Amino acid sequence: MAVQRPAAAPRGLEGVVATTTAISSVEDGKLQYRGYRIEELAGKAEYEEVAYLLLNGDLPNKEQLRDFKAELTKHRTLSPFLREILRQMSESGTAMDVLRTVVSASAVEDPGEGDNSHEAEYRKSIRLTAKLPTILATYIRRRRGEQPVPPDQTLTHAANFARMAGLDEAHPKSAEILNTCFILQAEHGLNASTFAARITAATLADMHAAVTAALGALKGPLHGGATDGTMKMLDEIGGVDRVAAFVERGFATKYKFPGFGHRVYVTTDPRAKFLRAFAQELSKGANAKNMPPYFEIQERLVEEVNKRRQFPVNVDYYAATTYTYLGIPADLGTSIFAIGRMAGWCAHIMEQHGDNRLIRPESEYTGPTGKRWVPLAER
Ligand SMILES: CC(C)(COP(=O)(O)OP(=O)(O)OC[C@H]1O[C@@H](n2cnc3c(N)ncnc32)[C@H](O)[C@@H]1OP(=O)(O)O)[C@@H](O)C(=O)NCCC(=O)NCCS
């Protein structure tokens, strides 16, 4: 008797609950980290507090935060080995390729290599979270032909990144705004990069392997790559008066407008309203004067797209212009996203290893069967 096989899951695993998690949830369009709604954290917390929350399960008290920050600042510096890879890659590598490669290379220096215990992974999480901003800032400086600026132990995660990348000179509020952006992007359930991390971790591969997989997935234009994609699209449109024609052409050619649509949110992405407010405020500032009217183009684009079909704008849409107005080059938005997301990835990897089972679904075969071997001379 033929074995009964279950029907294939929906395409893209839409609606499939693939695991349990205590890290974050989206219910009725509300995003919570460890039980705190994002509105409770954005604009109030420091990124370090949220990273602690994700990794430990609750917000730190004063002493816990002091110790956590001390550990983070201690591990910001890069070794000569990583700095040399960065020097070579910064000439022609894209930011996401550089982040993925340098994080992967940092595995060879991991003092806890081979140790997937909770304690060892907690320390790895701190080292990876601490180092990623230094990796990106070094890349940013290098490709501008400048020397990297060493980390400043007295500054917060966001302020130190802004200083190392030269963004504090480009905009006085860069650290404050980036801090909130990092929080908004820190965690989001079983999104593609986190799922990639958990699948990798579930083979009992280590945290560096899992984070490297996550960075690979984040690059794609259907995921974090939509931040850079949004800026490309806005530059292509070029002016408010060209939006309607662009949208018409887009729908005619089944173009996927970057920054629109979401698998989980139907009406609004709760993170977008914070980012829209930043983009709107920054669009009135000095940096915006020498740029195309990006925010106005975005607003018209939302109107024109929604006339034809309702899509929520997602986290990437206004993050893209927020970063651009802060003086961040248009192709670096996705890599900024990665800085915030690192704590979320690490929390998921620890959760996976804490109660692990291999993630290994099946596929429904749709190809031919029963074919016979034909010798090469007869093919
Ligand atoms: C996010 C995203 C990948 C979700 O994908 P999904 O849940 O698989 O949804 P689908 O791609 O199947 O889209 C469903 C329908 O909406 C349309 N659609 C979804 N997002 C769209 C977009 N941004 N622009 C135009 N059409 C879109 C699809 O073409 C499809 O239309 P159809 O029913 O006529 O075939 C998708 O909305 C998208 O590609 N957005 C743009 C990239 C982006 O911003 N990614 C960042 C996500 S945080």
Taking each helix axis as running N to C, give the angle between helix 333-354 and helix 47-56, from 0 to 180 degrees, rounded to the nearest 10.
Answer: 20
Given the CA of residue 254, which atom of ligand 1 is nearest to it? 29
Angle at 150 between CA 176 and CA 285, to 5 degrees: 30
Please indicate whether residue 43, judged by its CB atom, sits closer than 6 Å to ligand 1. no
Q: Does 1 score more than 70 pLDDT?
A: no
Domains of the chain in start order, with CATH, are: 31-220+338-354 (1.10.580.10), 225-325 (1.10.230.10)
Q: How far is CA 206 from CA 27, 201, 261, 364, in A?
A: 31, 6, 33, 30
* 375-379: average pLDDT: 97
Could you tell me which of 159, 119, 165, 160 has the C-alpha nearest to residue 139? Answer: 165
Question: Is the C-beta atom of 257 inside 6 A of ligand 1?
Answer: yes
Confidence of residue 3 (pLDDT cuts 50, 70, 90): low
- Nearest residue to 50 (alpha-carbon basis) of 351, 323, 339, 352: 339
- Give the per-residue pLDDT at 170: 81
pLDDT of residue 371: 97
Q: For ligand 1, say whether the CB of 232 is within 6 Å of any of its atoms.
A: no
pLDDT digits (tens, 9 = 90+) for 289-325: 999 999 999 999 999 999 999 999 999 999 999 999 9
Do 68 and 130 meet the contact criterion of CB atoms below 8 Å apart? no
pTM value is 0.96
The single-letter code of the amino acid at 271 is: R
Mutate to test the pocket of ligand 1, among 253, 262, 271, 315 (most ligand atoms within 8 A of CB): 262
Binding site membership of 263 for ligand 1 (Cβ less than 6 Å)? yes
The single-letter code of the amino acid at 231 is M
Bridge partner residues of 260 (DSSP): 313
Ligand 1 pocket member 12 (CB < 6 A): yes
Q: Is 170 in the pocket of ligand 1 (CB under 6 A)?
A: no
Which residue in 31, 361, 39, 345 sits closest to 192, CA to CA? 345
Percent of the chain with pLDDT over 70: 99
State how far the alpha carbon of 75 is from the alpha carbons of 48, 69, 200, 231, 341, in Å. Answer: 14, 10, 25, 33, 18
What's the confidence (pLDDT) of residue 334?
Answer: 97
Q: Give residue-wise pLDDT tens across range 87-125.
A: 999 988 999 999 999 999 999 999 999 999 999 999 999
User: What is the Cα–Cα distance from 192 to 198, expressed in whole angstroms?
Assistant: 10
Atom index in ligand 1 nearest the CA of residue 14 equals 7
Q: Is the CB of 261 under 6 A from ligand 1?
A: yes
Burial (CB < 10 A; 0-12, 13-18, 19+), residue 354, is: exposed
Q: How confident is the model at residue 168 (pLDDT cuts 50, 70, 90)?
A: confident
**Which residue CA neighbors atom 46 of ligand 1 most closely?**
223
The set of catalytic residues is: 262, 316
In this structure, the residue with its CA closest to atom 20 of ligand 1 is 261
Place of tokens 């132990």: 153
Q: Whose CA is nearest to atom 27 of ligand 1?
A: 256
What is the per-residue DSSP string for 253-301? Answer: TT---TTB--SS-SS--TTHHHHHHHHHHHTTSTGGGGS--HHHHHHHH
Buried b (16+ CB within 10 A) or exposed e, 240-264: eeebeebbeebeeeeeebbbbbbee
The 10 Å CB-count burial string (b at 16+, else e) for 106-140 is beeebebeeebeeebbbbbbbbbbbbbbbbbbbbb
Q: Whose CA is nearest to atom 45 of ligand 1?
A: 222
Which ligand 1 atom minimizes the distance to the CA of 250?
25
C-alpha angle with apex 171: 41 to 67, nearest 5 degrees? 45
